[in-house]
Structure 1
Amino acid sequence: GGAASVAALLVAGYLPGILVGLALMLVAAVISKRRGYSRGERVALGQLWRDFRRAFFSLLMLVVIVGGIVYGVFTATEAAAVAVLYAFILGYAYRTIMINDLPSILLNSAKTTAIVMFLICTSMAMSWLFSFESIPQLMTSFLLETVSSPVMIFILINLTLLIVGTFMDMTPAILIFTPIFLPVVTQLGMNPVHFGIIMVLNLCIGLCTPPVGTILFVGAGVAKVSVSDVIRPLLAFLFAMIAVLVAVTFFESISLWLPRLFGL
């Protein structure tokens, strides 16, 4: 439903992502200090260099994919195929993947793809229904007529997306709510790339927000603890991510500085 460049959206996510990472690291450092957690062992520079050399070709994938998209060598869809091919060649070279593993890999990929395609099909049907009933236009008119302050509209959109992200997967949420909210924010002068980053950040936070955030259950399952045990320690991290979300929402240069620098 959006008209933003994929390359611009990809590059625009770097600074917000770094800010989220720094905010989470800061919260983790404060909690660790207060609870007296022991420090990890320092890694010598020589060991760090050896680890970097071993991981060099794996890290190079990021450069290949991002560079290829930004400089127009291939599209975002083609980048996915390039990433798969690069990862397979690398895995075969490191002997972590063998030719005999291909059938099971393809089967698992087909299952995952089928789930994603089912979600996309159902969300596209709902998106078509919204368009047929002119819901995006009605929502635009309703928000612009009932809420006079652009700031309040942005806050309402953020709250809606945060709530949606707690129970809906990111792909269908983007497909359903982009055609609803994009006309509203563009009419208020917001850049579509900026809105795209805000939407993704909201939905990412929603995925790990109690009580039904998907990642919340995954994390609890990995740690073998109940979800209720995870919720209270998670609150500080959620507040940190929401603080970054507020900054990204009201300071568009956080999202748009890099795309403008690259002329995207």
Structure 2
Amino acid sequence: MSIETISIIVLFLSFIGLLAYGVPVAYAIGISTTLTLVLNIAYLPATTTAAQRMTTGIDNFALLAIPFFILAGEIMNTGGIANRLIEFAKSLIGSLPGGLAFVNIIAAMLFGAISGSAVAAASAIGSTLTDKMEKEGYPREFSASVNISSSTTGLLIPPSNVLIIFALASGGTASVAALFIAGYVPGILVGLALMVMVYVYARRKGLPRAPRVSFKKLFLDFRRAFLSLTLLVIVVGGIVVGVFTATEAAAIAVVYAILLGFINKELKFSDFKPLLLRSARTTAIVMFLIATSMAMSWLFSFEGIPQLLTSALLDNVSNPILIFLMINIILLIIGTFMDMTPAVLIFTPIFLPVAMALGMHPVQFGMIIVLNLCIGICTPPVGTLLFVGSGVAKVPVTKVIQPLLPLLAVMVAVLMAITYFPELSLWLPRTFGLID
């Protein structure tokens, strides 16, 4: 058995073993990477190499966008933006059967897109709507499942930190601007698919609908939410037009969110210390995950794992449809036990060469891997969003699983659609001239 084969076995077994033992993901990645390097080079050079790769992995200007978007999301969560979006969504579609569930989906799409955080959307929308939905006859576990699944749309609809990370992991084959624009159609499709499932459930269970509002009330709620919605146009529009980069857009989002919080009179100077601490803590966690994941990604290239996997798949399976299906199944499984950031950084270099060898555009693959992992964070045993959504709704995770399954099923249906119909991801970037 060659040293390369032994290294690969040690890498994966140590990584899976550490995760199974309960070691945090970032530490599991760093330890397994260092252990594997020790097999190839002496101990001291191995630890030095791992440290160097972690440092150079986060030495990237584009990654500065992440702490800014995290801070912007915290400011928006504190500054009353969620309530304005909920009221606007309620006026817009609250009169449909199961109207408040539709409001949850629309509000999560809007707030998730503005904040770029699924967890922030689930916390803000769920804490506001769950009690209201229960008073109108909605089961709390159903409300929690709708909130959990709909909050993922903010990871596809820009601005999205995960898409920035994928752009980094793709080695420059997919630009942030192209990924941002590409995310609109898949994100909206997920939202629409969830609405269809909610409509079917609402009609079958006879869930209530809110009274139809007047055009005047709709206009007033839209006017209150207008400045919040404008942030999307400023951030994404500026990137696409080329006025500023994603990092500069993130800084502008922070300034805009602060101004908006004071305009809404819901942000105070005393709020800054706790929200800055929360942002710093989240940023530290994300950056440490990125650093260790980049070291492991470099090790994959050092061991030639992407080339081995590409050859193995292409030599043994000739049907591209089956290969894409296998990749999706693997990513869905990975998503159940690994957080999005390390999963994107570790598995993009492995599967992207396979997808590109079969003619798939990197931007399309970005949509596929992100949606796969969106489904993963809604599922046990590690699903971050599942636990956050259940905690906000004060419902045991075990009770949320059953109503969540049909919603996850329609998300998988959208995943299959964007896998086998490339234009769903590529039409908008091509229209704006961001890809060929």
Question: Which one of 314, 320, 323 corresponds to residue 153 of structure 1?
Answer: 323
Asked whether the equivalents of residues 327 and 351 of structure 2 are also in contact (C-alpha less than 8 Å), the reply is yes
Aligned to 2:296: 126
Letter in 2 for 1:4: A
Match status 1:135 vs 2:305: yes
For 2:384 and 2:197, how far apart are their aligned partners in 1?
22
Percent identity at matched positions?
A: 66
For 1:103 and 1:19, how far apart are their aligned partners in 2?
38
Match status 1:42 vs 2:212: yes
Letter in 1 for 2:244: F
**CA-to-aligned-CA distance 1:32-51 (integer Å, 9 cap, x gap):** 11111111222221101001
Distance change in 2, residues 1:94/1:4 (3 Å): same
C-alpha displacement at 1:226, in angstroms? Answer: 1.2
C-alpha displacement at 1:56, in angstroms? Answer: 1.2
For 2:221 and 2:375, how far apart are their aligned partners in 1?
32
**CA-to-aligned-CA distance 1:58-92 (integer Å, 9 cap, x gap):** 11100000101111111112211111111011112
Letter in 2 for 1:169: D
Root mean square deviation, CA, Å:
1.2
Asked whether the equivalents of residues 339 and 382 of structure 2 are also in contact (C-alpha less than 8 Å), the reply is no
Match status 1:254 vs 2:420: no
Aligned to 1:190: 360
Q: Which segments of 5 or more consecutive residues in structure 1 lack a partner in the other structure?
A: none
State TM-score, norm by structure 1: 0.96
Please list every run of at least 4 consecutive aligned residues from structure 1 whose deviation after the TM superposition is greater than 3 angstroms.
Answer: none
Question: Which one of 58, 78, 85 corresponds to residue 255 of structure 2?
Answer: 85
Q: What is the 5 A alignment of 1:81-230? A: 81-230=251-400
C-alpha displacement at 1:211, in angstroms? Answer: 4.3
Letter in 1 for 2:212: R
C-alpha displacement at 1:110, in angstroms? Answer: 1.0
- Which 10-residue stretch deviates more, 221-230 or 95-104? 95-104
Asked whether the equivalents of residues 166 and 209 of structure 1 are also in contact (C-alpha less than 8 Å), the reply is yes
Asked whether the equivalents of residues 182 and 195 of structure 1 are also in contact (C-alpha less than 8 Å), the reply is yes
Asked whether the equivalents of residues 162 and 206 of structure 1 are also in contact (C-alpha less than 8 Å), the reply is yes
Q: Which segments of 5 or more consecutive residues in structure 2 lack a partner in the other structure?
A: 1-168
- Tell me the matched-pair count: 264
Letter in 1 for 2:309: M
Asked whether the equivalents of residues 167 and 214 of structure 1 are also in contact (C-alpha less than 8 Å), the reply is no
For 2:270 and 2:404, how far apart are their aligned partners in 1?
42
Aligned to 2:409: 239
For 1:240 and 1:206, how far apart are their aligned partners in 2?
14
C-alpha displacement at 1:237, in angstroms? Answer: 0.6
Asked whether the equivalents of residues 167 and 212 of structure 1 are also in contact (C-alpha less than 8 Å), the reply is yes
